[in-house]
Amino acid sequence: KLGAMVLKGIYLKPKMGNPPPRIIETSSGMLNSIGLQNVGVEMLIKEKLPYLQKFNTPVIINISGDTIEEYVELARRLGEVSEEMGIAGLEVNISCPNVKKGEIGT
Q: Which residues are catalytic?
A: 96
Cα-Cα end-to-end distance for the chain? 36
41 Cβ contact partners less than 8 Å away, ≥ 6 residues apart: 10, 11, 12, 74, 77, 78
Quote the CA–CA distance of 52 and 81 in Å, as a whole number: 14
Which amino acid is residue 23, in one-letter code? I
Quote the CA–CA distance of 44 and 98 in Å, as a whole number: 22
Give Cα 62 to chain centroid, integer Å. Answer: 4
